[in-house]
């Protein structure tokens, strides 16, 4: 049996500018992505039966981002309810299947996928898109399709607007739907930005946030293009101390109008010494920028303590660094996936 592993990172939007919707009802965007070290892993195997099967295991990242993530049976159970044809990993595999068939013959195209998720679903961090990106990388390798990242991005764009950013990683700027990308800067050898992330029990639906955005009468007529914005985007890759005033998410006010408790989490982070905070994408994840890993752990631990209360909106917290590199193949899965693989789930 052949097998390949792909991994793809989550993102935070350092800048997210939103225009009024076009005739296709989509809102044109101008956004700067930072890929962060919270990864989805996808194992792809050949299977005798045609078609694509999927199993998803969800994990809760450790509070300091250093310890092993723990299997989350509740999130895993919820993801098992998702119809396979809606799973972005399955949809990504199906985009590659015709290419596989053309190269190796239709009989070779049966695939079984196991998705190891550390990015919370419906959190505004591109978890679904990272599943698609990791699958594209894994299946490309499994079937020796020889597609480069740029070709995978072109295919990934059809699956979701954040898929190209999850494939490209690093720092990138995107226009159109945020999916026409230019690389701003490669990731450093070690992360230079430290984020405490607060996860919430209830997700936010992207269409609902955009609908509310329209109802509030927000949105510019026109936005700068990615190439026009490249120099300003470079400033966002600088030291964390200079980044705070530059963070700008134009969906944030809308997300806060729907979920005022997000601002409380942000204010709490500031009171504990964070430099700045921002809602990630359409939310609800709150990302607090901190001067060091230690400071970010302090913020994440305070959030985590609050999440222990059953009445809290908070689900948990972790610490991540950015930027990190592109989606890639991996020789092995992280050891913490072992318990789940050998367990009864
Ligand atoms: O990109 P995604 O499929 O997650 O978007 C879900 C919905 O959010 C779209 O169908 C659209 O209603 C809204 N949306 C939008 N403008 C964008 C992205 C999403 O209006 N740039």
Residue 323 in this model has a pLDDT that exceeds 50? yes
pLDDT at 128: 97
Q: Find the range with the poorest average confidence among 73-77, 82-86, 280-284, 340-344.
A: 340-344
Q: Do residues 248 and 17 touch, judged by C-beta distance below 8 A? A: yes
**Helix axis angle, 149-156 relative to 127-142, nearest 10°?**
130
Q: Would you give the DSSP letter of residue 28?
A: P
Residues 6+ apart with CB under 8 A from 83: none
Whole-number average pLDDT of the chain: 95
Nearest by Cα to 200 from 124, 116, 295: 124
Q: Do residues 162 and 129 touch, judged by C-beta distance below 8 A? A: yes
Residue 29 Cβ contacting ligand 1 at under 6 Å? yes
DSSP secondary structure string for all residues of 250-313: TTHHHHHHH-THHHHHHHHHHHTT-SEEEE-TTSS-EEEEESSHHHHHHHHHHHHHHHTSTT-S
Mutation pick for ligand 1 pocket among 26, 122, 175 (CB with most ligand atoms within 8 Å): 26
pLDDT at 342: 67
Active site residue 11: yes
Work out the pLDDT band at 182, boundaries 50, 70, 90: very high
Active site residue 94: no
CA 11 / ligand 1 centre spacing (Å) = 17
CA 128 / ligand 1 centre spacing (Å) = 13
Of 72, 131, 162, 175, the catalytic one is: 162
Residue 316 Cβ contacting ligand 1 at under 6 Å? no
CA 205 / ligand 1 centre spacing (Å) = 10
Ligand 1 atom showing the smallest separation from residue 160 Cα = 1
Q: What CA–CA distance (Å, rounded) separates 124 from 282? A: 5
Residue 113 in this model has a pLDDT that exceeds 60? yes
CA 340 / ligand 1 centre spacing (Å) = 33
Nearest by Cα to 110 from 81, 90, 130: 90
Q: What CA–CA distance (Å, rounded) separates 296 from 318? A: 9
Task: Give 228-235 contacts, CB < 8 A, sequence gap 24+.
Answer: 229/30, 229/32, 229/173, 229/175, 230/173, 230/182, 230/184, 233/15, 233/32, 233/171, 233/173, 233/184, 234/184, 234/185
Mean pLDDT to the nearest integer, 167-195: 97
Residue 340 in this model has a pLDDT that exceeds 80? no
Q: How many CB atoms lie within 10 A of CB 250?
A: 21
Strands 3-18 and 29-46: antiparallel
Residue positions counted in the chain:
345
Work out the pLDDT band at 308, boundaries 50, 70, 90: very high
Residues pairing with 16 in the sheet: 31, 249
Q: What CA–CA distance (Å, rounded) separates 13 from 167? A: 15
16-60 confidence digits (pLDDT tens): 999 999 999 999 999 999 999 999 999 999 998 889 999 999 999
136-173 confidence digits (pLDDT tens): 999 999 999 999 999 999 999 999 999 999 999 999 99
Work out the pLDDT band at 122, boundaries 50, 70, 90: confident
CA 158 / ligand 1 centre spacing (Å) = 13
Ligand 1 atom showing the smallest separation from residue 178 Cα = 21
User: ∠335-341-317 over CA atoms, to 5°?
Assistant: 60
At 208 the three-state DSSP class reads: helix
Residue 109 in this model has a pLDDT that exceeds 90? no
Portion of the chain with pLDDT greater than 70, in percent: 97
Burial of 344 from C-beta contacts in 10 A (0-12 / 13-18 / 19+): exposed
Query: Which residue minimizes the CA distance to atom 20 of ligand 1?
Result: 26
Q: What CA–CA distance (Å, rounded) separates 122 from 68? A: 22
pLDDT at 344: 46
Residue 160 Cβ contacting ligand 1 at under 6 Å? yes
pLDDT at 297: 98
């Amino acid at each position: 049996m052949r097998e390949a592993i792909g991994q793809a990172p989550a993102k935070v939007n350092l800048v997210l500018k939103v225009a009024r919707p076009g005739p296709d009802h989509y809102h044109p965007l101008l956004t700067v992505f930072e890929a962060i070290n919270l990864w989805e892993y996808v194992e792809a195997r050949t299977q005798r039966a045609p078609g694509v099967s999927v199993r998803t295991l969800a994990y809760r990242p450790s509070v300091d981002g250093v310890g092993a993530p723990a299997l989350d049976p509740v999130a895993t159970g919820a993801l098992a309810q998702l119809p396979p044809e809606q799973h972005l990993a399955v949809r990504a595999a199906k985009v590659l299947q015709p290419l596989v068939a053309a190269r190796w013959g239709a009989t070779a195209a049966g695939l079984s996928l196991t998705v190891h998720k550390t990015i919370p679903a419906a959190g505004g961090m591109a978890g679904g898109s990272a599943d698609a990106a990791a699958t594209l990388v894994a299946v490309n390798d499994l079937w020796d399709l020889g597609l480069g990242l740029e070709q995978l991005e072109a295919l990934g764009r059809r699956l979701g607007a954040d898929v190209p950013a999850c494939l490209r990683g690093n720092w990138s700027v995107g226009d159109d739907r945020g999916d026409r990308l230019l690389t701003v800067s490669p990731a450093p050898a070690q992360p230079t930005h430290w984020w405490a992330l607060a996860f919430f029990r209830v997700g936010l639906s992207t269409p609902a946030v955009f609908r509310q955005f329209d109802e509030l009468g927000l949105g510019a007529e026109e936005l700068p293009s990615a190439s026009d914005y490249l120099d300003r985007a470079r400033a966002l890759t600088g030291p964390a101390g200079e980044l705070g005033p530059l963070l700008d998410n134009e969906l944030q006010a809308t997300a806060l109008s729907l979920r005022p408790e997000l601002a409380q989490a942000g204010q709490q982070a500031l009171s504990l010494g964070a430099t700045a905070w921002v809602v990630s994408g359409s939310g609800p994840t709150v990302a607090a920028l901190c001067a060091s890993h230690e400071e970010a752990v302090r913020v994440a631990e305070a959030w985590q303590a609050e999440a222990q209360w059953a009445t809290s909106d908070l689900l948990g917290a972790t610490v991540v660094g950015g930027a990190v590199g592109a989606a890639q193949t991996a020789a092995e899965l992280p050891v913490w996936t072992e318990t789940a693989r050998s367990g009864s789930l």
